[in-house]
Amino acid sequence: MELPLTPTDFLVRARRLFADREGVIEHEDCERAHVFTYAQHAERAARLAQVLRDDLGVQKGDRVAWLCGNRHELLEGYFGVLLAGAVLLPLNIRLSAPELRWILDDSRAAVLIRDPALTELDPPVRELLIDGRYEERLAAQPLPWVDPPEVDENDVAEIFYTSGSTGRPKGAMLTHRSLYLHAVHSALTMSISGHDVIIHTIPLFHVNGWGTPHYMTALGGVQVMLPRFDSAEVLRLVEAERVTRLYLVPAMMTLLLNDPTFDSRDLSSLKQLSVGGAPTPPALLAEAERRFGCECICGYGMTETAPQLTKAIDKPGEPRSVRRRSTTGMPILGVDLRIFDEQDNELPWDGATAGEIRVRSNHVMAGYWEKPEETESALAGGWMHTGDVGTMSPDGFLTIVDRKKDLIISGGENISSVEVENALAEHPAVLEAEVVGVPDERWGEVPRAFVALRAGTDASADELIGFVRQRLAHFKAPKEVRIVDALPRGGTGKVLKNVLRDS
Amino acid sequence: MELPLTPTDFLVRARRLFADREGVIEHEDCERAHVFTYAQHAERAARLAQVLRDDLGVQKGDRVAWLCGNRHELLEGYFGVLLAGAVLLPLNIRLSAPELRWILDDSRAAVLIRDPALTELDPPVRELLIDGRYEERLAAQPLPWVDPPEVDENDVAEIFYTSGSTGRPKGAMLTHRSLYLHAVHSALTMSISGHDVIIHTIPLFHVNGWGTPHYMTALGGVQVMLPRFDSAEVLRLVEAERVTRLYLVPAMMTLLLNDPTFDSRDLSSLKQLSVGGAPTPPALLAEAERRFGCECICGYGMTETAPQLTKAIDKPGEPRSVRRRSTTGMPILGVDLRIFDEQDNELPWDGATAGEIRVRSNHVMAGYWEKPEETESALAGGWMHTGDVGTMSPDGFLTIVDRKKDLIISGGENISSVEVENALAEHPAVLEAEVVGVPDERWGEVPRAFVALRAGTDASADELIGFVRQRLAHFKAPKEVRIVDALPRGGTGKVLKNVLRDS
């Protein structure tokens, strides 16, 4: 018997088997403000589906965009949009209004569901605001449940726009099958169970929230919402809700460890910290394990792969070691990950030979939205070309040594250096600009710009930073601008980014 | 990216990531006699594939039958047969020679791989004996590894012959996709990890060994072989290999609890006992939990569903209870299980209303081998009709109350009462015979026959039992034969089996 693999199965399961489980919890002002059982959570998702389908005319395959922090409404959207037969398109709330409008245009979104408190935006699409009337609209729907529509498991279910190395973001399309398998493979690799309690620290508008909305629902675990990251609030919630697992980017980890309330909180319920989204210094990991008193595992992934690719779980039958923890871990179940040279030869797993990391997996995206050339290039030869360079140890642990693409990862966000360079280049005084990532204790990396000015013009570093912030999300603006006479170039005229990084 | 789901992925993963893990262990005379790392295990499977393909001419889709206890060779066969592109067909070693020959004929098996110590058999197919020359044949193959052949995930990977209620066994066909999803869903539901150590107590010729060969390989866990069930040996192995989980039918549980060595063994490594294959008395469960000192969960399944359907795992957020343990548990991940009346109306989950248990799941078989009518009937309306009758509690726990089909489950083996009745009817003195299952402390159930003799003839109970044993596997023969004047019949002339069961 062949039935389509789809994340809505997870909601159907939770609704039937974990109906009375208080699965979705959101605090306000240090108290439980919203508590939904899985029966209620499923009903809210079904009512949202009716609003979309019947009130707003959303059709099968339409893109439904979200602009919302980790409020329970977005978690409901993860399932409600699919129940309506539509495609979930979560937007990064940190993008600027012009960037958001560009994505809404590019994706031809049918509806934007938006937290009005977040952004000033004049969107080019119909809106559903999460305001006082939102609850009324849900309540006005006739049915407490709608059965999931028929789908082909290879239909697109989610699109996430991601900054690659070249200019404008691209929409990575993930299918129902990809999301389903990513969820069960991730949960099994990480030994997640229905007894786990998590906080949605990772933005649900990012890389499928690492799959947690799907597998926590399937298993009947508890999901604590976190509309906005705040280290003291996270520590308070761990104690208040007896949280068992945290998912963090390194910048969040640093904030937690440095929070003044850290030592006053009871964190004994924690079993595991899962860190990803950027390279994690081994010293930070070791400190985290010591102070949190639980294991801390690294991982690696990318939007195009749903996203998890590796996790530094304990190797069965072997003791854990610092060497292991300092890698990004083993491929998770369902992921065939290897390294290749530029002539497409597979490279040995010797812990020394570095090559491009390529991946074959059902987790890999179907392609980039309406970008056939970029899709073909990313998936050439039946492998997802990650653009990252790594080594594999003989026993299958990955270490990332470089990024082939000029991508800066700052606080878990991708920044395209080209996009920032292009913004700088729009300034009349800028002759040429080059942007590189430089290490930063708090954010992992931050962008630093090197700018050569046109003869006879002038512009200060602060002026240029302000100029970029008017055009792009603030986190993309260079933290520092260095005015130089000329950019260092190699024999072919190519700017030597490595020289800039080391300068 | 869409890649076929196939169990060979699990071997590929273990070979790459758990190469040095001693994953397959077989004892002889109380010592480790065979220890294979996953690299060695994978190599042996690949060499077996070459023997099948190159020496024995096995073609894609051919059935490769096995007649073998839980020796490591059969575990290698689970993967080696698929690496050869063929279909695994494990045979029940307790069947009689005529029964085995009938299945080999019916399935048109290309090869029979056989432990020569087991059965006197003159098979109608080419044989590969697991004798002194077996190792030489593996060693003589040229390659240490062969990449899995291309498959469609909906191709048949395994066939298990199962006794239904009507006469001859039927071959339930399980696809690559079914087996893959059954494995990951089972392991995730049961919180299995690569740190687990199991004993293959459940025959691998049965119902896909409950999926353990697949998920233990995928996760890099340790698999201890057990060629023949022996309670003292199981207890010894738990201590010697620090086993974490046992899989048992109730008869095995009883044997373990009554074994004289029980109290002298260190069983502290055990985390969970999983009991299935027959109804389990709550008192037995409670005793097992107390004496083994670990949790004991029931389950329910059938060959046609790969087989696991339910597991009595802890309900997230709720304390365990005797009521829960006395059910057969919740549907596992990936299983949509409901109850229906005879007019195909879905019945409420109220803990009282009983109806036929029906299942929709990717775990459900593709059909019965060359039995289109039986397939259509079993899968009518897109649901697998289990033939079992149960109630569902409001929170999704299943209790089996009856079997619609006249199937007797004895020591985890299915016995078709019709098949036994037909064997009895072949005796010249038998006018009519009816067989029912009656409770048995050791085997769960055993067959009891009620026989009416032809006028003027005579036959003793012992003679009739011996007569059946010549024709069928010994476990199918009635443990008791009651000679009666006439069988009790209802108004329509149908024999009242309930009256016989209660008599």
Q: Do B331 and A2 touch (CB under 8 A)?
A: no
Using the predicted structure, report yes or no on whether residue A493 has a pLDDT greater than 80.
no
What's the rounded mean pLDDT across residues A303-310? 96
Contacts of B178 in chain A (CB under 8 A): 1
User: Between chains, do A361 and B177 touch, taking CB under 8 Å as contact?
Assistant: no
Same domain, B124 and B189: yes
| pLDDT tier at B405, thresholds 50, 70, 90 | low
**Position B123 confidence tier, pLDDT thresholds 50, 70, 90:** confident
Q: Are A22 and B317 an interchain contact pair (Cβ–Cβ within 8 Å)?
A: yes
Do B277 and B250 meet the contact criterion of CB atoms below 8 Å apart? yes
- Does residue B206 sit in the same domain as residue B329? yes
The answer on B490 and B385 residing in a single domain is no
Q: How confident is the model over A192-211, as pLDDT tens digits?
A: 999 999 999 999 998 899 99
Provide the residue count of chain A. Answer: 503
Tokens of B177: 């996709």
Lowest mean pLDDT among A355-369, B61-75, B110-124: B110-124
* Paired tokens of B294: 């670990």
> Is a pLDDT exceeding 90 seen at residue A454?
no
Is residue B274 domain-resident?
Answer: yes
Structural contact between residues B164 and B416, judged by C-beta atoms closer than 8 angstroms: yes
Q: How far apart are the first and last CA of chain B?
A: 61
- Is B380 touching A (CB cutoff 8 A)? no
Which residue stretches of A84-230 are H helix? Answer: 97-107, 132-139, 176-189, 212-219
Inter-chain contacts counted by CB atoms under 8 A, chains A and B? 125
Query: B262-266: long-range contacts (C-beta < 8 A, 24 or more apart)?
Result: B262/B235, B262/B291, B265/B235, B265/B236, B265/B238, B265/B239, B266/B239
Q: Is the pLDDT of residue B418 over 80?
A: no
Pick from A14, A3, A126, A123: which is nearest to A59 by CA?
A: A126
Subunit contact B3:A379, Cβ cutoff 8 A = no
Give the tens place of pLDDT for each residue, A201-245.
999 998 899 999 999 999 999 999 999 999 999 999 999 999 999
Inspect the interface and report whether the beta carbons of A395 and B12 lie closer than 8 Å: no
Q: CA angle, corner B125, sides to B120 and B130, nearest 5?
A: 55
**Mean pLDDT value of segment B415-441:** 86
**In which band, very low, low, confident or very high, does the pLDDT at A342 lie, cut at 50, 70 and 90?**
confident
Residue A319 has pLDDT above 90, yes or no: no
Contacts of A414 (CB under 8 A, 6+ apart): A162, A163, A164, A303, A407, A408
Pick the residue with more confidence: B365 or A455? B365
Q: Is the model's pLDDT at B283 over the cut of 60?
A: yes
Residue B492, pLDDT > 60, answer no
Indicate which CATH number applies to the domain containing B470.
3.30.300.30
- The answer to the question of residue A42 being in a domain is yes
Of A22, A184, A195, the CB nearest to B188: A184
Whether residue B465 has pLDDT greater than 60: yes
**pLDDT-derived band at B276, boundaries 50, 70, 90:** confident
Q: How close is the nearest chain A Cα to the Cα of B349, in Å? A: 10
pLDDT band at A123 (very low <50, low <70, confident <90, very high): confident
Q: Is the Cβ pair B185, A185 closer than 8 Å?
A: no
- pLDDT at residue A325 tops 80: no
Instruction: Please count the other Cβ atoms lying within 10 Å of the Cβ belonging to residue A165.
Output: 16
pLDDT at residue A488, rounded to an integer: 84
A2 in contact with chain B, both atoms CB, cutoff 8 A? yes
User: Do the Cβ atoms of B195 and A13 come within 8 Å?
Assistant: no
Which residue among A151, A186, A215 closes a domain? A151
Domain harbouring B208, CATH code: 3.40.50.12780
Domains of chain B: total:
2
Residues of A in Cβ contact (< 8 Å) with B16: 396
Within a domain: residue B122? yes
DSSP letters along B91-151, please?
--TTS-HHHHHHHHHHHT-SEEEE-TTT-----SSEEEE-SHHHHHHHHT-S-S--PPPP-
Q: Which of residues 218-237 of B touch A (CB under 8 A)?
A: 218-222
Q: Do the Cβ atoms of A333 and B218 come within 8 Å?
A: yes
The reply to whether A211 touches chain B by the CB within 8 Å rule is no
What is the Cα–Cα distance from B497 to B490, expressed in whole angstroms?
A: 10
What pLDDT was estimated at residue B161? 95
Torsions phi, psi for A53 (to 5 deg): -75, -50
B235 and B285 together in one domain: yes
Residues B93 and B98: their CA atoms lie apart, in Å, by 12
Q: What are phi and psi of B211, to 5 degrees?
A: 90, -5
Per-residue pLDDT tens for A152-187?
999 999 999 987 656 689 999 999 999 999 999 999
Q: Look at phi and psi of residue B29 and say left if phi exceeds 0, alpha if psi is from -120 to 50, else beta.
A: left
- The reply to whether A116 falls in a domain is yes
At a CB cut-off of 8 Å and minimum separation 6, what does A184 contact?
Answer: A215, A218, B184, B185, B188, B333
Rounded Cα distance between A24 and A71, Å, is 10
A164 vs A409: CA distance, rounded Å: 11
Three-class SS of residue B403? strand
Same domain, residue pair B219 and B140: yes
Q: What is the mean pLDDT of residues A127-143?
A: 96
Q: What residues of A are in contact with residue B362 (Cβ under 8 Å)?
A: 1-3, 5
B24-59 b/e (C-beta count within 10 Å ≥ 16 → b): bbbbeeeeeeeebbbbbbbbbbbbbbbbbbeebebe
| Residue A227 forms part of a structural domain | no
Tokens 């309306």 correspond to what residue?
A: B381
CB contact under 8 A, A3 and B360: yes
Nearest chain B Cα to A188, which residue?
A: B188
Whether B350 and B414 map to the same domain: the answer is no
pLDDT at residue A503 in the model: 77
Strands A444-453 and A430-440: antiparallel
Rounded average pLDDT over B9-35? 97
Q: Count helices and strands (H / E) in chain B.
A: 15, 25
Tell me the range of A311-325, B10-24, B114-128, B306-320 where mean pLDDT is highest: B10-24
Do B371 and B425 fall into the same domain?
no
The answer to whether the Cβ–Cβ distance between B19 and A218 falls below 8 Å is: no
Smallest CA-to-CA distance from B269 within B183, B191, B189, B199 is with B199
Check whether residue B454 and residue B380 sit in a common domain: no
Eight-state DSSP code of residue A330:
E
Q: By the CB < 8 Å criterion, does B49 face chain A?
A: no
Task: Give the distance from residue A246's alpha carbon to the nearest chain B alpha carbon, in angstroms.
Answer: 19
- Give A321's contacts (C-beta < 8 A, 6+ positions apart): none
Q: What is the pLDDT of residue B413?
A: 81
Q: What percent of chain B has pLDDT over 90?
A: 71
| A492, pLDDT greater than 60 | no
Indicate whether B400 belongs to any domain: no
Task: Identify whether B242 is part of a domain.
Answer: yes
Q: Is the same domain home to B362 and B416?
A: no
Kindly provide the residue ranges of all beta strands, DSSP E only, lying in B208-259, ordered along the sequence: 222-224, 245-248
The Cα–Cα gap between B90 and B68 comes to 8
Nearest to B317 among A21, A192, A364 (CB): A21
Per-residue pLDDT, A346: 96
List the helix and strand counts (H, then E) for chain A.
15, 25
Radius of gyration of chain B (CA): 23
Under an 8 A CB cutoff, do A220 and B366 touch?
no
- Provide the pLDDT for residue B166: 59
Structure-block tokens of residue B17: 């990531």
Report the pLDDT averaged over residues A114-129. Answer: 89
B52 — pLDDT class (breaks 50, 70, 90): very high
The reply to whether residue B334 touches residue A21, judged by beta carbons under 8 angstroms, is: no
Q: Strand pairing partners for B113? A: B66, B128
Q: Other CB atoms closer than 10 Å to residue A385's CB: what's the count? A: 18
Q: Which range among A415-429, B166-180, B409-423 has the greatest average pLDDT?
A: B166-180
Residue B204 in contact with partner chain A when CB distance is under 8 A: no
- B242 and B304 in a single domain? The answer is yes
The region of weakest confidence among A264-278, A384-398, B137-151, B311-325 is B311-325
How many Å lie between the alpha carbon of B365 and the closest alpha carbon of chain A?
6
Q: Which of A20-24, A45-49, A488-492, B375-379 has the lowest mean pLDDT?
A: A488-492
In a domain, A147, yes or no: yes
Helical segments of B341-393, H only: 372-378
ipTM entry: 0.89
Per-residue model confidence as pLDDT tens digits over A4-59:
999 999 999 999 999 999 999 999 999 999 999 999 999 999 999 999 999 999 99
How confident is the model over B439-459, as a mean pLDDT? 90
Which of A299-308, A323-332, B1-10, B299-308 bottoms out in mean pLDDT, i.e. has the lowest?
A323-332
Rounded Cα gap, residues B233 and B261, in angstroms: 10
From B365, B392, B419, the end of a domain falls on B392
- Shortest distance between the Cα of B390 and any Cα of chain A, in A, equals 17
Is A220 in a helix, a strand, or coil?
coil
By DSSP bridging, strand A430-440 and strand A413-416 are unpaired
pLDDT at position A433, please?
87
Using one digit for the tens of pLDDT, what is the confidence trace for A75-94?
Answer: 999 999 999 999 999 999 98
Nearest CB to B193; choose among A1, A21, A191: A191
Please state the φ and ψ torsions of residue B363, each to the nearest 5 degrees.
-80, -20
Asked if the model's pLDDT at residue A271 lies above 60, the reply is: yes
Is B353 touching A (CB cutoff 8 A)? no
- Within 414-453 of B, beta carbons closer than 8 Å to A belong to none
- Spatial contact of B41 and B12, defined as CB atoms under 8 Å apart: no
In the stretch 276-315 of chain A, residues with CB closer than 8 A to chain B read 314-315
Does A187 lie at the interface with B, CB-CB under 8 angstroms? yes
Rounded to 5 degrees, φ, ψ at A14 are: -60, -40
Task: Tell me what pLDDT residue B404 has.
Answer: 65
> Looking at the complex, does the CB of residue A100 fall below 8 Å from at least one CB of chain B?
no
Give pLDDT, residue A47: 98
How far apart CA A48 and CA A476 sit, in angstroms, is 34
Q: What is the mean pLDDT of residues A380-396?
A: 93
**For position A324, what pLDDT does the model report?**
77
> What integer best gives the mean pLDDT of chain A?
92
A365 touches chain B (CB under 8 A): yes
How far is it, in rounded angstroms, from Cα B371 to Cα B169?
Answer: 11
Task: Look up residue B357 and give its amino acid.
Answer: I
> Residue range B231-259: average pLDDT?
94
Nearest beta carbon to residue A1 from set B222, B333, B379: B379
Mutate to test the interface with A, among B188, B223, B362, B392 (most CBs of A within 10 A): B188
Closest-CA residue in chain B for A331? B17
One-character DSSP codes across A152-185: -TTSEEEEEEE--SSSS-EEEEEEHHHHHHHHHH
CA distance A192 to A212: 10
What is the DSSP-derived secondary structure letter of residue B404? Answer: S
Q: Which residues of B touch A218 (CB under 8 A)?
A: 333
A395 touches chain B (CB under 8 A): yes
Q: Which residue of A has its CA nearest to B37?
A: A317
Structural domain of B487 = 407-502
Range picked from A273-282, B95-104, B259-268 for highest mean pLDDT: B259-268
Q: What is the chain B residue with the closest CA to A380?
A: B1
Q: Say if B35 is an interface residue toward chain A (CB within 8 Å).
A: no
- Residue for token pair 């290698």: B76
Give the per-residue pLDDT at B496. Answer: 75
* In a shared domain, residues B129 and B235: yes
- Of chain A residues 66-95, which have a CB less than 8 A from chain B? none
Mean residue pLDDT of chain B comes to 92
Give mean pLDDT, residues B3-21.
Answer: 97
Domain boundary at A95, A125, A151, which? Answer: A151
Q: Is B395 on the interface with A (CB under 8 A)?
A: yes
pLDDT on residue B486: 86
Q: Which two tokens stand for residue B495?
A: 């024999």
Helix (H, G, I), strand (E, B) or coil at B12: helix
Residue A502 confidence (pLDDT): 78
User: Is residue B57 located within the same domain as residue B201?
Assistant: yes
> Cβ–Cβ of B3/A361 closer than 8 Å?
yes
User: Half-sphere exposure (CA, 13 Å, Cβ side) for A493?
Assistant: 0
B58: contact with A, CB 8 A cutoff: no
